[in-house]
Chain A
Amino acid sequence: MRGKVGMWCLIVAESSIFCIFVVAYLYYAGKSVSGPTPAQVLHVPIFASICLFSSSLTIVLSEKAIHRGNIKQFGIFWFLTLALGVIFLVETGIEWHRLIYNEGLTISTNLFGTTYYSLVGLHAFHVTVGAIGLTIILLFTLFGAVKMEHAGRIGVFAMYWHFVDAIWVVVLSVVYFIAR
């Protein structure tokens, strides 16, 4: 109970940080004086998004597994969650490589570049932190340290992962659809 309330508090605080970056993105949309525009260079990251959204599903499945006491199944779904998250990060990296080297869009190119890399980057940073957490817990699982009584704590961590996912819903909508 404490963990859940604490995690909600963290989510509120993090949301307010993201909110400001989203506001900046929307405010500056269309105001770049030069350089590439979103319509010119952005491709909707469909595959990466599917991976990230699916990872929310796999983490729910892993939560259900550990509630039943099935550590093996928990481990499998947990690993899948991590894998999907890592795929998302790799896809983001590939996308950024293309934007920087092929399209010439960097964080200092123009307002679009600054706000895009900051917002997507902040989200990717949070995914990375989540991935590190997932890895640590996976290692604990492999060493047999994770038991059914830890289901509550797993639930708290999963909340963070769902939060990262929910932020991606917002970022995806704003960057790739609304402010295109």
Chain B
Amino acid sequence: MAEAQPIVPPLVITPEREGSRPIVQVLHDWIVTVDHKRLGIMYFCYGILALVIGGIEASIMRAQLAVANNHLVSPETFNQMFTMHGTTMIFFAAMPIVFGIANYLTPLMIGARDMAFPRLNAWGFWMTALGGIILYFSFVGGFGLYGAGSAPDVGWFAYAPLTSPAFSVGHSTDYWTIGLLISGFGSIATGLNIMTTVLCMRGPGMKLGRMPMLVWLNSVMAFLVLVAIGPLTAAQLMLLIDRYLGGHFFDTQAGGSAVIWMHFFWIFGHPEVYILVLPAFGILSEVIPVFSRKPIFGYNIMVAATIAIGFISLSVWAHHMFTVGMTSYANAFFVASTAAIAVPTGIKIFNWIGTMWGGKITFTTPMLFSVAAVAQMLIAGLTGIMLASAPFDWQLGNSYFVIAHFHYVILGVIVFGVFAASYYWYPKVTGRMMSETLGKCHFWLFLIGFHVTFDFMHVPGLLGMPRRIYTYEASRGWEGWNLIVSIGVIFQALGVLFWVFNVLKSYFKGKIAGNDPWDAWTLEWSTTSPPPDYNYAELPVVRSRRPLWDLKHPEDPDWKYE
């Protein structure tokens, strides 16, 4: 049998540091770049900025809700805060971060030099960025010539007919609509790019069945982007037609339906949260094997489960609508489809445990975040099962229980996963290691803060506290719980500060990482840290899922067993 060529040892290159060129040139290079790595970094940084802004909005809300009958902010401001917090976090924090990680790593992991369409990539980023700017311009541009309202205050899902011109006077809702419409085009471009890259640009020997898990998860994510963003775009176009051209899509006075907005929105909205969580699953599937010193347990099943999750997620949307009065048959169907998605998700959790089982686990910071994310996914999945039982949802829906559930997924799994990714791949991106000490401080502070806030947040939901209320009666018995929830925010903020400080400090003072600081096995670790512009001097030829394992263990390579 012909031997595959070994992976060419990486070239020794000292990349030119940015500081040695005039700042204007550096900025120019970044603005016009089409390099997937730079775009990935820009996406990620944009997302982190939005995360911080969204966090400030959340902190304002938590300060207002810490005690009953509080007067810290007006109802208008609070309503704008929860709208902007949700919209910012989903569309301008989580999505860009996820796209950034996908953009940076996909070509490196499959042995390619760039994404399939570099210029489209850049266009997608700038469209997303523009969308965010338009959304935030609402704070400034809302007042003035055209009338009432500033930032949108209709909730991140902007239910009709609250968004009709009758109930949303002025232009605040339009900033929401147009900002998201534009960033939606950017998202579709990125989804298209990822899909095409994975299907067409894989390096020699990189069969689909040899791709790293993160690439698989990002591909299914890209598929969901292509299918699910369209409904949101369509609904937003319809809303604009209603608001500006006198259309009646959601005009209940003219026979229009408020429920159809909900259907259209959630046909987008539910796959959207899988768009966010699948890459986090991918990160866990990369980090846990390396720090357990074992391959991912059940690769084929993990891929199958991912594809199953992708498809099933398109059929569950009306579990957000259990209370709108659908027939018992419709409700029952969505109970079934939603509960069904628990099966492949559970399989993933078990496979991560199976990966750790029998391994030799080192608790580096990325591993700490990953293990916490697995445990938190378990809890989030179980509260999801509770919400999937429609009659239980008739009590829990639209309450703080739901808020606790989805923040458990978004923060507890996705953000924890993103932090794990940041510690894990920072050395590859910058060439330097982050501080483990600061990292552990970040982890424990954030873990404590997360649990203080979101564990206790389930309780007011069980005690009848609905969402989107700027204040509440003291007699309801929610006050103490809300105070605890608000206190947790402080620890989370401190944790994030530690992280930001770590990121900045390590850029200048971190230990030089070398190509492969973690003794990992996927292709990105075979090139320099940071990689050269062209990624690989010679495209590596792979024979298994862990090409670097094969290189390091020539007596026992993976391709013998796959």
Q: Are B247 and A6 in contact (CB under 8 A)?
A: no
Tell me the minimal C-beta distance from A112 to chain B in angstroms.
Answer: 9
Alpha-carbon separation in the docked complex, A72 to B250 (Å) = 51
Q: How far is the CB of B266 from chain A (nearest CB, A)?
A: 12
**Known contacts A107-B246, A115-B249, A21 near B234 by CB under 8 Å:** yes
B238 surroundings in chain A (CB, below 8 A)? 21, 24, 118
In the bound complex, residues from chain A placing their C-beta under 8 Å from that of B188 are 10, 13
Among A25-33, A84-92, A133-141, the stretch in contact with B: A25-33
* Chain A hits for B267, CB < 8 A: 20
Does A108 contact B227, Cβ atoms closer than 8 Å? no
Taking a contact as CB atoms under 8 Å apart, the answer to whether B192 and A32 are in contact is: no
Question: Any chain A CB within 8 A of the CB of B233?
Answer: yes
Contacts of B197-244 to chain A: CB distance below 8 A: 199-201, 225-231, 233-235, 237-238, 241-242
Residues on A with beta carbons closer than 8 Å to the beta carbon of B324 = none
Known: A19-B230, A20-B235, A114-B241. A27 touches B192 (CB 8 A): no
Q: Tell me the smallest distance from the CB of B18 to a CB of chain A, in Å.
A: 31
Q: What residues of A have a CB within 8 angstroms of the CB of B242 in the complex?
A: 114
Interface SS of A by simple majority: helix
- The stretch of B254-262, B300-308, B550-558 in contact with A is B254-262
Residue B465 interfacial (CB < 8 Å): no
| B195–A9 CB distance below 8 A | yes
Complex contact B249–A13 (CB within 8 A): no
Query: How far does the Cβ of A174 sit from chain B's closest Cβ, in whole Å?
Result: 15
Q: Contact between B192 and A6 (Cβ–Cβ < 8 Å)?
A: yes
Q: Return chain A residues, CB-CB under 8 Å to B246.
A: 106-108
Q: Is B176 an interface residue (CB 8 A)?
A: no
Chain A positions 28 through 59: 1 when the CB is less than 8 Å from some CB of chain B, otherwise 0: 10011100000000000000000000000000
- Check: B143 CB closer than 8 A to any chain A CB: no
- Whether the pair A114, B247 counts as a contact (CB closer than 8 A) is yes
Residue B289 CB within 8 A of the other chain: no
- Chain B residues with Cβ below 8 Å from A70 are none
B237-A13 in contact (CB<8A): no
A5 and B199 contacting across the interface, CB-CB below 8 Å: yes
Known contacts: A2-B116, A108-B246, A108-B247. The answer to whether A17 contacts B234 by CB under 8 A is yes
* Distance A17 CA – B188 CA, assembled complex (angstroms): 11
The answer to whether B233 and A17 have CB atoms under 8 Å apart is yes
Separation of A108 and B253 alpha carbons in the complex (Å): 13
Q: Within 8 Å of chain A (Cβ to Cβ): is B107? A: no
- B350: chain A residues at CB < 8 Å are none
Q: Taking the nearest CB of chain A, how far is it from the CB of B58, in angstroms?
A: 31
Count how many chain B residues have C-beta atoms less than 8 Å from C-beta atoms of the other chain.
38
Do the beta carbons of A27 and B260 come within 8 Å of each other?
Answer: yes
Contacts of A31 in B (CB 8 A): 255
Q: How far is the CA of A32 from the CA of B254 in the complex (A)?
A: 7
Nearest-Cβ distance from residue A10 to partner chain B, whole angstroms:
6
B237 to A10, Cβ gap below 8 A?
A: no
Contacts of A19 in B (CB 8 A): 230-231, 234
Q: B117 at interface (Cβ–Cβ under 8 A)? A: yes
Of the four ranges (under 10, 10 to 19, 20 to 34, 35 or more), the interface on chain A belongs to 20 to 34
- B residues in contact with A17, CB < 8 Å: 230-231, 233-234, 237
A residues in contact with B233, CB < 8 Å: 17
User: Is the Cβ of B227 less than 8 Å from the Cβ of A16?
Assistant: yes
Asked if A169 is an interface residue, CB under 8 A from chain B, the answer is no
B111-130 near A? 1/0 per residue, CB < 8 Å: 00000110010000000000
Task: List chain A residues, Cβ under 8 A from B257.
Answer: 27-28
Question: A145 → chain B, closest Cβ, in Å?
Answer: 19
- CB B237 to nearest CB in A, in angstroms, measures 7
* A-contact bits for B486-505, CB 8 A (1 contact / 0 none): 00000000000000000000
Q: A6-B196, A118-B241 are in contact. Are A13 and B117 (CB under 8 A)?
A: no
A99-B214 Cα distance, complex, nearest whole Å:
53
- Which residue on A lies nearest to B197, using beta carbons? A2
Q: Any chain B CB within 8 A of the CB of A14?
A: yes
- The answer to whether A32 and B255 touch across the interface, beta carbons within 8 angstroms, is yes
CB neighbours (8 Å) of B230 from chain A are: 13-17, 19-20
Q: Which residue of A lies closest to B267 (CB)?
A: A20
**Chain A residue at minimal CB-CB distance from B233:** A17
Output the least CB separation between A150 and chain B (Å). Answer: 17
Q: How far is the CA of A115 from the CA of B237 in the complex (A)?
A: 12
Q: Check B32 for interface membership: any CB of A closer than 8 A.
A: no
Residues 100-117 of A at the B interface (beta carbon under 8 Å): 106-108, 110-111, 114-115
A5 touches which one: B120, B191, B196, B235 (CB < 8 A)?
B196
Query: Taking the complex as formed, is B245 at the interface, i.e. its CB lies under 8 A from any CB of chain A?
Result: yes
**A128-B267 Cα distance, complex, nearest whole Å:** 28
Closest beta carbon of chain B to A153's beta carbon, Å: 13
Chain B residues with Cβ below 8 Å from A14 are: 230
Query: Within 8 Å CB of B231, what residues of A?
Result: 16-17, 19-20
- The residue that A13 contacts in the complex, of B192, B248, B255, with Cβ under 8 A, is B192
Report whether A13 and B247 are in contact in the complex, using a CB–CB cutoff of 8 Å: no
Instruction: Kindly state whether residue B291 has any CB partner on chain A within 8 Å.
Output: no
The answer for the CA separation of A10 and B241 in the assembled complex, in Å, is 24
Instruction: Tell me the bound Cα distance from A33 to B235 in angstroms.
Output: 22
Q: Given A13-B229, A21-B234, A33-B255, A5 and B247 touching (CB < 8 A)? A: no
Is B264 part of the contact surface with A, judged by Cβ < 8 Å?
Answer: yes
Q: Are the CB atoms of B117 and A2 closer together than 8 Å? A: yes
Other-chain residue from B192, B248, B256, B260 in contact with A10 (beta carbon distance below 8 A): B192
6 interchain pairs, CB-CB under 8 A: A13-B227, A16-B230, A16-B231, A20-B267, A28-B255, A28-B256
Q: Which 7 A-B pairs have the closest CB atoms?
A: A108-B246, A16-B230, A20-B234, A9-B192, A17-B230, A114-B247, A6-B196
A-B contacts besides A13-B229, A17-B234, A111-B248, 11 pairs, CB < 8 Å: A2-B200, A5-B116, A5-B196, A13-B191, A17-B230, A17-B237, A19-B234, A24-B264, A107-B241, A107-B246, A108-B247
Question: Chain B: residues with CB nearer than 8 A to chain A?
Answer: 116-117, 120, 188, 191-193, 195-196, 199-201, 225-231, 233-235, 237-238, 241-242, 245-249, 254-257, 260, 264, 267
